[in-house]
Amino acid sequence: MEEKNFKKETEKFFEEPAIILGEGIAIIKKEEKALINKRPFKLAEEYWDTLGPGLTTGAADDDPSGIATYSQAGARYGLQLIWLSLFSYPFMAVVQEMCARIGIVSGQGLAANIRRVYPMRVLYAVTALLFLANVLNIAADLGAMAAATKLVLPGVGLELLVVLFALASLVLQIFTTYARYAKYLKYLALALFSYAIVAFSVGLDWNEVFRHTLIPSITFSKDQIFLICAILGTTISPYLFFWQTSQEVEEKILKGETSIEARRGQADEHALRRMRVDVWSGMFFSNLITFFIFAACAGTLYVHGITTIVTADQAALALKPFGEFAFVLFALGIVGTGFLAVPVLAGSAAYALSESFGWRHGLYHKLEQAYAFYGVIIVAMLIGILANFAHLDPIRGLIYAAVANGIIAPIILFFVVRLSGDKNLMGKHANRPVTSFIGWATILVMAVSGIAALASLY
């Protein structure tokens, strides 16, 4: 009897820990499952936090005048030129990575670094051309934003909308802190997804889309040569070079590195890796949206014989027969990208001029601390408004802006490649041979397309 009782007590002694252990394992498995389920969201959150100047720079590249260019190409030639959205990606990403690296390592913007190494007259000439191209783009973008809004709200005056959009953009830049301003720009980039939604809603033959994306095609007509230059000029745009470099500097200032000495040479591999993720993601996002704009217009306008699209709002209006949903989304996307791109255009001109003349600059400054810097932004916006009041031909403005970008881009890229490969400036973070090769190849492609575009005008 005692032996039975001992055996029973022994079993009871081990049974309870086994139950507890089993419950513990079950809890651990449950927690592990919850962690696995949470991990994708955590990774997505960390990835979103990594994105910054690269994302906003890439998104700003798809501005209303860029949308007009891509829409025109899709409407006129269908899917024939959609391969450019893939072809331009590595060139664009490598160039913007160079610009970002210059900003991180040197602690200064692009114009300030050009000023340190090259004659002032060269910098002044480049800055003047950049300002002219940016003002033309601002005028075209404000006009496109107003025209797109008028499609949805026909009772509002076009000139009033131009003024309201310009004022809203100025308030965003002048009267908000840089941290909040950068956050606004980051979320505005999401407006570009409207073009992806449009592309998926219009019933495209995706096998044909991907075939034309992977297999380049070109007819070498004057019109097509000029349009290719416009596409490259609006994709690999000079204002993005200055903006990217300066925003990397602003990000450092936001972390407390307010002096050039504190910022210079402080780049570490972790910061550079984060920058590369940001830049390559931003440029991929930009070219992906370009791809969807091409596809949407080719699959709707081109196949129905609507080939005379020359402005972004015309592209939106032309989509109306294919569904109110697509039409409204396309129009709202123009306004959203305009709010993103106009501050970038005005800001990059202000950075370039301020660094050229040694003025105090930076969006982290208040208005009374950097009158000249904010003055350039205000003047650029005012000229953009006046151009719309003068009812200048938007087609001609787009042409001039595209040609200006095509001419300026290879000139400024020369300085970007040289500076990012300069061991005295960049130290161990100077270009690797393959990076320099892609940089020089980009200059060659842009120079050839610019010369060909000019030749096609005669």
Which of the two residues, 2 and 357, has the higher pLDDT score? 357
Per-residue pLDDT of 153-178, as tens digits, reads 888 888 899 999 999 989 888 887 65
Spatial contact of 339 and 190, defined as CB atoms under 8 Å apart: no
Label residue 92 by pLDDT band (50, 70, 90). Answer: very high
Q: What is the pLDDT of residue 314?
A: 74
Between 284 and 7, the higher pLDDT residue: 284
Mean pLDDT of 434-448: 92
Average pLDDT (108-131) is 87
10 versus 183: which is more confidently predicted? 183
> What is the model's pLDDT at position 48?
63
Q: What is the mean pLDDT of the chain?
A: 81
**pLDDT-based confidence at residue 93 (cuts at 50, 70, 90):** very high
Q: What is the pLDDT of residue 317?
A: 75
What letter represents residue 163's amino acid?
V
- pLDDT surpasses 80 at 106: yes
pLDDT tens profile 125-145: 888 888 988 898 898 889 888
Which pLDDT band holds residue 222 (cuts at 50, 70, 90)? Answer: confident
DSSP symbols for 334-389: HHHHHHHHHHHHHHHHHHHHHHHHT----TTS-GGG-HHHHHHHHHHHHHHHHHHH
pLDDT per residue as tens digits for the range 181-209: 667 766 767 777 777 888 888 778 899 99
pLDDT at 59: 77
pLDDT in tens, 328-369: 877 888 888 888 888 889 999 999 999 998 898 888 888 888
Say what the pLDDT of residue 34 is: 53
Q: Can you tell me the distance from the alpha carbon of 275 to that of 104, in angstroms, rounded to the nearest whole number?
A: 9
pLDDT of residue 395: 56
> What is the Cα–Cα distance from 187 to 59, expressed in whole angstroms?
10
Given this model, what pLDDT does residue 362 score?
A: 83
The C-alpha atoms of residue 375 and residue 368 are separated, in whole angstroms, by 11
A 10 A CB-CB count for 359 gives 15
Average pLDDT over residues 431-454: 90
Confidence at residue 40, expressed as pLDDT on a 0 to 100 scale: 63
Tell me whether residue 375 is exposed, middle or buried, using C-beta atoms within 10 angstroms of its C-beta: 0 to 12, 13 to 18, 19 or more: middle
Q: Up-side HSE of residue 368: CA atoms within 13 Å toward CB?
A: 0
- Alpha-carbon distance of 141 to 156, in angstroms, equals 18
Q: If pLDDT is split at 50, 70 and 90, which confidence band does 179 have?
A: low
Q: What is the mean pLDDT of residues 61-84?
A: 88
The answer to which of 28-42, 43-57, 215-229, 292-306 has the lowest mean pLDDT is 28-42
Tell me: pLDDT of 4 over 80: no
- Cβ atoms of residues 431 and 420 within 8 Å: yes
Query: How large a percentage of the chain has pLDDT more than 70?
Result: 81
CATH of segment(s) 51-456? 1.20.1740.10
**Tens digit of each residue's pLDDT (9 = 90 or more) over 239-259:** 889 988 888 888 777 776 666
Asked if pLDDT for residue 12 goes beyond 60, the answer is no
Query: What is the pLDDT confidence band of residue 20, given thresholds at 50, 70 and 90?
Result: very low
CA distance 66 to 403: 13
pLDDT in tens, 23-58: 545 544 554 555 455 566 666 666 666 677 777 887
